[in-house]
Amino acid sequence: MKKALAGLALGLGVVATTPTVAQETIKVGILHSLSGTMAISETTLKDAMLMLIEEQNKKGGLLGMELEPVVVDPASDWPLFAEKARELIEVNEVAAVFGCWTSVSRKSVLPVFEELNSLLFYPVQYEGEESQRNVFYTGAAPNQQAIPAVDYLMDQGVERWVLAGTDYVYPRTTNKILEQYLKDSGVAAEDIMINYTPFGHSDWQTIVADIKAFGSAGKKTAVVSTINGDANVPFYKELANQGIEATDIPVVAFSVGEEELAGIDTAPLVGHLAAWNYFMSADTDANYDFIDAWHAFIGDDTRVTNDPMEAHYIGFNMWVKAVEAAGTTDPDAVIDSIVGVAVPNLTGGYSAMMPNHHITKPVLIGEIQDDGQFEIVDSTDGLVVGDAWSDYLPESAPLISDWRKPMSCGNFNTETGQCGGTGG
């Protein structure tokens, strides 16, 4: 009889053991270069995201499910960013993606996120002139970094300007804005020198000599640097080789933070500057807690933190809060719920997501110290709202962005009353 019952059970497809149900997870995409020229900056952001996901899982995950990171390496190859983004969304079915550094990588993936209606949280300063429905810009717009940095140097008596950048969209557009801003401020064209170099550029001898000569005209001169990636290492070394000190020609950098300085002998660079919205040296309890958590996660008390890490910290927590409010990871629901979401930043207070998908941030000027840290020498009184469209470019000045319904437009022209399309 027992054999007969067993046979009946098998015939009916009855399983005698308790079925195992796979634990459902919410997948989170991490799209940062782990090799190539930008790995010097982006690898740390991958690690920061893994830490944030681990910490959220310790709190119980999200919507009762564990978060599962999915890491890919676009290898500093701009077209590959688009392929990897598509892989994350279509194959891995991630709920959101945190990634990109350079604007050319972001521009590469924009059509993918728009086509597949997924979410990108972009953590790095950029040139503005863009607002996409599917993108949240948690790094600085020009009015949250470049313009305040120039204002600070003007207050220090700078009259001649070298705009030095890597040859791609972010430096070129930022310098277009800065050049116009400087001219509007009374700076003569002959007092502005602009230079671009390729990614990974290593031979700086002639360029630094030109900068030195440009700064010998009897007017206080400064370099505004939008040089990105590992090209910064030989650039700063050549400054030191040619005896250019901060008291002679100060450099203010927009893409050099604590992580980049970790690979440089900073003793000759003391006094040079960077403009960011966060420095590791910020004196707040939230920052100290973040640093402690980072060191515990990475297992190395010498590892530094930096501004794009804070941007991921802010953006990730905004996404979590918006998903909780929406009760779903559905992109349309998250887009509707995230505007107005405010979360703590690491420098004190709260940063909020604005209708143009940019956030509020303080602006800090830091001076390089011989230990590779920055002493904060200037800051805005409060938080600055990121401006998607520059007030200093005639074609952009009339444009605003507001992704709330019913407007839902990234480039609304206030003069014509028309939306120019889906975004910039």
Which whole number is the average pLDDT over 255-268?
85
Tens-digit pLDDT profile for residues 211-250: 999 999 999 999 999 998 888 889 998 999 999 999 999 9
- Confidence (pLDDT) at 5: 34
- Give the whole-angstrom CA distance, residue 67 versus residue 85: 18
Nearest to 386 by CA among 123, 11, 60, 155: 123
- Which range has the worst mean pLDDT, 67-81, 343-357, 361-375, 410-424? 410-424
Tokens representing residue 180 in the block: 């116009």
Instruction: Judge whether 340 lies within some domain.
Output: no
Tokens representing residue 300 in the block: 């190395």
Which whole number is the average pLDDT over 367-396?
95
Instruction: Judge whether 65 lies within some domain.
Output: no
- Confidence (pLDDT) at 4: 38
- Confidence (pLDDT) at 23: 55
- Confidence (pLDDT) at 230: 85
Tell me the pLDDT of the chain averaged across its residues: 93
Instruction: Judge whether 402 lies within some domain.
Output: no
Full residue range of the structural domain in which residue 234 is found: 143-276
**Residue 413 in this model has a pLDDT that exceeds 60:** yes
Give percent above pLDDT 70 in the chain.
94
Tokens representing residue 5 in the block: 């019952």
- Give the whole-angstrom CA distance, residue 365 versus residue 256: 12
- Confidence (pLDDT) at 101: 94
- Confidence (pLDDT) at 8: 35
Which whole number is the average pLDDT over 396-413?
96
**Residue 421 in this model has a pLDDT that exceeds 90:** no
Nearest to 127 by CA among 380, 386, 395: 386
Q: Which residue has the higher pLDDT, 266 or 150?
A: 150
Nearest to 119 by CA among 93, 143, 150, 154: 93
Instruction: Judge whether 213 lies within some domain.
Output: yes
- Confidence (pLDDT) at 423: 60
- Confidence (pLDDT) at 415: 96
- Confidence (pLDDT) at 16: 38
- Confidence (pLDDT) at 269: 86
- Confidence (pLDDT) at 420: 87
- Confidence (pLDDT) at 265: 82
- Give the whole-angstrom CA distance, residue 238 versus residue 215: 16
- Confidence (pLDDT) at 18: 39
Tens-digit pLDDT profile for residues 177-208: 999 999 999 999 999 999 999 999 999 999 99
How many domains does the chain contain in total? Answer: 1
Tokens representing residue 62 in the block: 């999200």
Hey, CA dihedral for 374, 380, 384, 390, is it positive or negative? negative
Nearest to 277 by CA among 342, 346, 359, 363: 363
Which whole number is the average pLDDT over 270-288?
97
- Give the whole-angstrom CA distance, residue 393 versus residue 301: 45
Burial 103-127 (b: 16+ CB within 10 A, else e): bbbbbbbbebbbeeebbbbbbbbbb
- Which range has the worst mean pLDDT, 1-15, 271-285, 336-350? 1-15
State the pLDDT confidence band at 22, using cuts at 50, 70 and 90. very low
Phi, psi angles (nearest 5°) of residue 374: -120, 135
Residue written as tokens 């933190």?
305
- Give the whole-angstrom CA distance, residue 293 versus residue 86: 32
Instruction: Judge whether 324 lies within some domain.
Output: no
Burial 246-269 (b: 16+ CB within 10 A, else e): beebbbbbbbbbbbbbeebebebb
State the pLDDT confidence band at 21, using cuts at 50, 70 and 90. very low
Give the DSSP per-residue string, 115-158: HHT--EEE-S--------TTEEE-S--GGGTHHHHHHHHHHTT-
- Confidence (pLDDT) at 219: 97
- Give the whole-angstrom CA distance, residue 94 versus residue 85: 10
User: In what order do the strands lie in the sheet containing 418-419?
Assistant: 399-402, 409-413, 418-419
Phi, psi angles (nearest 5°) of residue 78: -60, -45
Nearest to 193 by CA among 175, 177, 181, 206: 175
- Confidence (pLDDT) at 92: 98
Instruction: Judge whether 153 lies within some domain.
Output: yes
Nearest to 81 by CA among 122, 25, 26: 122
State the pLDDT confidence band at 11, using cuts at 50, 70 and 90. very low
Q: What is the CATH number of the domain that holds 184?
A: 3.40.50.2300
Tens-digit pLDDT profile for residues 63-121: 999 999 999 999 999 999 999 999 999 999 999 999 999 999 999 999 999 999 999 99
Which whole number is the average pLDDT over 2-12?
37
Which whole number is the average pLDDT over 9-31?
60
Phi, psi angles (nearest 5°) of residue 310: -65, -40
CA 119 to chain centre: 15
Which whole number is the average pLDDT over 291-310?
97
